Structures are given as C-alpha cells and as structure tokens.
C-alpha cells in the first residue's frame, strides 16, 4: 500500500464506510473493491450501503434542507466559496486519486479537480444572480414577477469517467440554489466520491449542514431504484449510458419527477479543405486519445474533405505513433488504461465489427500488452479506422479510443453525416471560411448541444451550458442558466389597488 500513502491523507482506509449523512455511516453491506485499471489490482474497499442506509441519508438531507433553504443565497454561496478553497488545497491528492481510480493521466486528473474549483467559483457568483423576471401586468395597479425557489433533495448519479467534476457541476450549483443532495457514484470509482465528500462536506459540517452532501455507495437494486422511485427526490440528475438514461427517464417520469440527463455522444469533427491542419491534428488527438476515448465528448468521427484525407490521415497516424501508453501517474504517459476488462472486450468487438463492415485499420486496432506491474492493466492501442458513414458500428458510441475517419465532399455533406446518428452531444468544424463556419452553427447546421469552430469536441469550459440533444438526453448542466433546472419557478401576481379586475376582461357577477 505504500505507493498509495496519499490516500490516507484523504481519509481513505483499507476498508471504508459506504454512506454519509453528515456523519459516516457504518455500512454493513458486502465489500465493493474497485480495481486499479492501470494494474488490475484491487484498491481499498467500500462497504456497500443498503436500503435502510439510503433512507437514513435521505432523511438527514431533508432535515438539513429545511434550514438550508432559509439561508439567503449569497450566504449559501459563501459555503461554496470555502468548498472551492478546500478543493484548491487538496487539488494534487484528489487529482492523483482520480487518476489512480479511473485511469486518466495525472494532468487530466488535475484538470478534473480544476473543473470542480471552476464550478465552485461560478456558483459563488451565481449565488448573487438567481434572477427572476418582472412582467407587465394587463391589470391596473398590479404587478407580476417570477421567483426561483429551492427544489428539495436532489439525487445525483454519476459515471466513472468524471468521478469528481460531474458531481461538482451538480452539487455546487444546486447548493447555492438551496438544495440538499444524495449522490450515488459509479461503482467503479467510489473512492473518489468518498474523498470528494470528505473534503467538501467538512466545510458544511461545522454548522451541522454536512447532510446536504449525502453519499450512498450501493447497487442499483438496493439504492439506485430506491432513488428513482422516491417521491422525496424531485430531481434526478444522471450521467451515463443511453441505456441507463432510459431507465432513469422512465422511472422518474412515471412518478412525474424531473430528470436531468447527460448521456452518450457520438461526436464528429469536420475538417474542410481550407482548415489549419496542424490545429486540427492536435485537436483530434486530444479529443480522441484523451481520457483513452472515455469522455462523453470524445471525438469519435472525423469527417474530412476528400482532397486532404490522405494528408490528415498521415499526420494523425504519425501523431498516434508518439502516444506513450502506460501508467497514468507517470508524467511521460499520454494515454492510460480503459476502465476495466469489459471495456477492452468492447473495444475489440467494435474493431472487429468495423473491419467486417468494410473499415480499414490505419493504426492500432488491438489491445496493448503492458509489462511488469502494469501487466494486469486494461490497455488498448489508440486506433484509427478508415470508415464509411453507413457502417452500423459508426452509429454507436464505443467508450474507447477508436476514431473513424470518413471522407466527405463539402460542408453540407459533413453536416448531414454528422447529424445522422442517434446522439447529439458535441461537434466541431475546422475551417477558415466564415460562411462554412456560420452555416455549421446555424439552424441548418449541427444539431448538437455543443458546436465548436476551430477547437475540438471535448474539453468544454464550465461557463457554458453542457449537454446535448436526441439520445444524449436533452439536459443542461454546469454554466449559463443551467441552474434553473435545480429550482422551482413561481409566478406571482400582486394587486396593490382597491379593485379586483379579472384577467382577460372577464365580468363575473355584479
Ligand atoms: C463527460 O465526459 O461526462 O467537455 C464530461 C469535457 C469535460 C467534461 C466531460 N469538460 O470534455
């Protein structure tokens, strides 16, 4: 364990409790042992929470919420400001833990914690800007206004690939909105959730508000379903696969609750023949290889003008040849492992499917055999496949570093092919032509929630609204006015006169 000494400074023991309701609950469930994807060896364990633990966490969250909702929003923002400070203090260790547990390289682990700090800062500012509208009333001596109020206890379900940041997007914004939370993290990355909760809740514990950041590590049967069907959770914010999103939407919809979904992407990056190829190459490599292709924003398809296809392919193959695969905590590494053996199998199956559907592997295409300590890790080679848009595999999101290179004739064909998939998260175009760029951003252009010009599909800043259309689920998280999803809107009409005129001019009685 010596190489993991930093874990104890984050409060991680060999075996850890799996629930938090303001204090750590001594859960008794079976031990969940996350695996270090870089080595295949077990990490410290977490004892699963059960239904009774879940009830306890929700109850404590509800009670804390009753007091929290009465605090003025800027006062709530002050707590979030201090959460941001704590995250700054612990950035290195938390970044290291993210890297250890989910396998992204340390630079990206640090980036993830920075994303948490950024959203905390954003939320602090937001706490003084939860604006409503005033609306002109049609009646004399009346006024109308809209006010935004806290929702209650918000359920947050997160995926392994951003084990800290996606929770922070939700929790920081939603805290200033005046809500309490119950977080069910991915079962592949529970330790990051434990550490994030410990660091952030410390600030709230001082005033008995720890339960606002409830945490529950448990199975879907025991805990997940309980959240989805629980009337006490007015909003479930869930990030993960389309399959998971459908279950969430159905179960939460059935009780007429709200869900905020951030699901799969199948993101295309178009390169026109006037593009800066150096820029495009760098953006594609980061977008396709970063986080080993396991971001929802990962570049999965490059739609390249046929005139420059061979040149771009050559540049990409050369760049891929320099990608060092290995231990994500080694500063020389550019691509770490996939999350688990199943992800490697899915990578292999997708490559086989692509080949059988007529794809041509330009580089990569197989698992990567690592040596020594890393021999049990889940490594694959970053892969480029020359493909056609009509290959069925190209319609699917495979959470792995597989890039499909598809020749196109121009901007219109690129837009058509780009949009012709079930998902609609992120997209990008590389061109120097303002007409093509603006067409791409127009109503007849990209149908995605994110559409970029001359930057890649991944690595969004927190200031914008994040999310996408179609099977991506339609939700928006993080910046802009995403906060509205975490509040309830109230329209008020106030009569300050002595008459009672009715709207629409209705005369009723006298
Ligand atoms: C995700 O993969 O679920 O834009 C989130 C990005 C990151 C967030 C990705 N800021 O790539």
Residues 105-128: tens digit of each pLDDT? 999 999 999 999 999 999 999 999
Distance 67 CA to ligand 1 centre (A): 33
Question: Using CA atoms, how far apart are residues 198 and 203, in angstroms rounded to an integer?
Answer: 9
Kindly list the distances between the CA atom of residue 448 and the CA atoms of 26, 45, 297, 387, 408, in Å, as whole numbers in the listed order. Answer: 44, 39, 11, 22, 19
CB 490 within 8 A of CB 154: no
Tell me how far apart the terminal alpha carbons of the chain are, to the nearest angstrom: 84
CA of 328 to the centre of ligand 1 (A): 18
What is the residue-averaged pLDDT of the chain?
A: 97
Ligand 1 site-directed mutation target among 186, 240, 260, 466, most atoms within 8 Å of CB: 466
Sign of dihedral through CA atoms 148, 149, 152, 156?
positive
Residues in the chain: 510
**Catalytic residue flag (residue 262):** yes
Helix/strand/coil for 221: helix
Cα gap 17→29, rounded to integer Å: 9
The answer on pLDDT for 2 being more than 80 is no
- What's the 451 CA to ligand 1 centre distance in angstroms? 14
pLDDT, one tens digit per residue, over 198-232 is 999 999 999 999 999 999 999 999 999 999 999 99
Structural domains in the chain, CATH included, are 3-263+473-490 (3.40.605.10), 267-461 (3.40.309.10)
pLDDT-derived band at 1, boundaries 50, 70, 90:
very low
> Quick one: DSSP state of residue 399?
S
Identify which of 188, 459, 479 to mutate to test ligand 1's pocket (most ligand atoms within 8 A of the CB).
Answer: 459
Q: CA-CA distance, 64 to 21, in Å (whole number)?
A: 10
Distance CA 292, CA 468 (A): 21
Candidates 360, 235, 262, 373; CA nearest to 310 is 360
Residue 3: the pLDDT is 59
> Residue 197 C-alpha to ligand 1 middle, in angstroms?
20
pLDDT (0 to 100) of residue 4 = 75
Q: Distance between CA atoms of 76 and 176, rounded to whole angstroms?
A: 5
What pLDDT digit, counting tens, does each position of 276-294 carry?
Answer: 999 999 999 999 999 999 9
Question: What token pair was written down for 96?
Answer: 């290291």
pLDDT digits (tens, 9 = 90+) for 465-488: 999 999 999 999 999 999 999 999
CA of 114 to the centre of ligand 1 (A): 13
C-alpha span between 445 and 486 (Å, rounded): 30
**Catalytic residue of the set 102, 172, 296, 448:** 296
Q: Which of 261, 297, 449, 475 to mutate to test the pocket of ligand 1 (most atoms within 8 A of CB)?
A: 297
pLDDT tens digits for range 10-54: 999 999 999 999 999 999 999 999 999 999 999 999 999 999 999
Residue of 112, 262, 397, 471 with catalytic role: 262
User: 294 C-alpha to center of ligand 1: Å?
Assistant: 9
The DSSP annotation for 36-98 comes to ETTTTEE--EEEPP-HHHHHHHHHHHHHHHHHHTTS-HHHHHHHHHHHHHHHHHTHHHHHHHH
Residue 305 has pLDDT above 70, yes or no: yes
pLDDT greater than 90 at residue 243: yes
Ligand 1 centroid vs 153 CA: distance in angstroms?
25
Distance CA 121, CA 153 (A): 22
- Ramachandran angles phi, psi of 216, nearest 5°: -145, 115
Cβ partners under 8 Å of residue 6, min gap 6 = 93, 96, 97
Tell me which of 165, 448, 464 to substitute to probe ligand 1's pocket, judged by most ligand atoms within 8 Å of the beta carbon.
165
Using DSSP bridges, classify how beta strands 142-150 and 45-47 pair: parallel, antiparallel or unpaired. Answer: unpaired
Residue 223 backbone class (left: φ over 0; alpha: ψ -120 to 50; beta: rest): alpha
- What pLDDT, on the 0 to 100 scale, is given for residue 510? 74
Q: Which of 230, 236, 267 is nearest to 452 (CA)?
A: 267
* Structure-block tokens of residue 57: 């966490």
35-36 and 41-42 as β-strands: parallel, antiparallel, unpaired?
antiparallel
Q: Can you read off the two tokens belonging to residue 239? A: 């990030």
Using an 8 Å Cβ cutoff, are 51 and 223 in contact? yes
Q: Which residues line ligand 1 (CB under 6 A)?
A: 115, 161-162, 166, 239, 295-297, 458-460
Q: What integer pLDDT is reported at residue 5 of this predicted model?
A: 83
Closest residue by Cα to residue 458 from 269, 327, 237, 226:
269
Residue 100 and residue 114: Cα distance in Å, rounded? 17
Distance CA 192, CA 477 (A): 20
Query: Is the CB of residue 124 less than 8 Å from the CB of residue 84?
Result: yes
Ligand 1 centre and the CA of 460: distance in Å?
A: 7
Mean pLDDT, range 436-453, rounded to an integer: 98
Contact 406, 388 (CB under 8 A): yes
Residue with CA closest to ligand 1 atom 7: 459
- Rounded CA-CA distance 157/260 in Å is 10
Helix (H) or strand (E) holding 176: helix 165-177
Q: How far apart are CA 44 and CA 10, in angstroms?
A: 13
**What proportion of the chain, given as a percentage, has pLDDT over 90?**
98
Q: How does pLDDT run across 373-384, given as a tens digit for each residue? A: 999 999 999 999
Is 471 considered catalytic here?
no
Nearest-atom number in ligand 1 for the CA of 296 is: 2
How confident is the model over 144-192, as pLDDT tens digits?
Answer: 999 999 999 999 999 999 999 999 999 999 999 999 999 999 999 999 9
């Amino acid at each position: 364990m010596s190489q993991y000494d930093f874990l104890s400074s984050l409060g991680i023991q060999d075996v850890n409790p799996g629930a938090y309701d303001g204090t750590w609950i001594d859960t008794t469930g079976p031990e969940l042992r996350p695996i270090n994807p870089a080595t295949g060896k077990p990490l410290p364990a977490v004892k699963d929470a059960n239904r009774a633990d879940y009830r306890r966490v929700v109850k404590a969250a509800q009670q804390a919420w009753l007091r929290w909702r009465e605090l003025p929003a800027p006062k709530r923002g002050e707590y979030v400001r201090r959460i941001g400070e704590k995250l700054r203090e612990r950035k290195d260790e938390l970044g290291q833990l993210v890297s250890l547990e989910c396998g992204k390289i340390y630079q990206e682990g640090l980036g993830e914690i920075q994303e948490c700090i950024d959203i905390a800062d954003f939320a602090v500012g937001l706490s003084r800007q939860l604006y409503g509208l005033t609306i002109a009333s049609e009646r004399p001596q009346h006024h109308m206004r809209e006010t935004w109020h806290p929702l209650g206890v918000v359920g947050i379900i997160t995926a392994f690939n951003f084990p800290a940041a996606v929770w922070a997007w939700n929790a920081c914004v939603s805290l200033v909105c005046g809500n309490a939370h119950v977080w069910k993290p991915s079962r592949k990355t529970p330790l990051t959730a434990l550490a994030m909760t410990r660091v952030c809740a410390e600030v709230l514990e001082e005033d008995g508000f720890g339960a606002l950041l409830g945490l529950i590590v448990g199975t879907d049967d025991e805990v997940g379903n309980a959240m989805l069907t629980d009337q006490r959770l007015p909003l479930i914010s869930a990030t993960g696969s389309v399959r998971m999103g459908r279950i969430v939407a159905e179960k939460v919809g059935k009780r007429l609750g709200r869900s905020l979904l951030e699901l799969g992407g199948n993101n295309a990056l178009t390169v026109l023949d006037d593009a800066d190829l150096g820029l495009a190459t760098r953006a594609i490599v980061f977008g396709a290889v970063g986080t080993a292709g396991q971001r929802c924003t990962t570049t999965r398809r490059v739609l390249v003008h046929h005139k420059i296809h061979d040149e771009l392919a050559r540049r990409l193959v050369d760049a891929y040849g320099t990608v060092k695969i290995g231990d994500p905590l080694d500063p020389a590494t550019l691509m770490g492992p996939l999350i688990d053996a199943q992800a490697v199998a899915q990578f292999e199956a997708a490559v086989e499917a692509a080949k059988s559907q007529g794809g041509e592997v330009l580089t990569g295409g197989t698992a990567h055999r690592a040596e020594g300590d890393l021999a049990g890790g889940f490594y694959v080679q970053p892969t480029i496949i020359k493909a056609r848009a009509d290959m069925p595999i190209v319609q699917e999101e495979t959470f792995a570093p597989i890039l499909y290179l598809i020749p196109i004739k121009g901007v219109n064909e690129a837009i058509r092919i780009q949009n012709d998939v079930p998902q609609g998260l992120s997209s990008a175009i590389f061109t120097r032509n303002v007409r093509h760029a603006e067409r791409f951003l127009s109503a007849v252009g990209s149908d995605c929630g994110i559409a970029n010009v001359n930057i890649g599909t991944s690595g969004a800043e927190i200031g914008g609204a994040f999310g996408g259309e179609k099977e991506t689920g339609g939700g928006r998280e993080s910046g802009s006015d995403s906060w509205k999803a975490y509040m309830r809107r109230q329209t008020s009409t106030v009569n300050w006169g002595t008459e009672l005129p009715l709207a629409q001019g209705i005369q009723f009685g006298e």
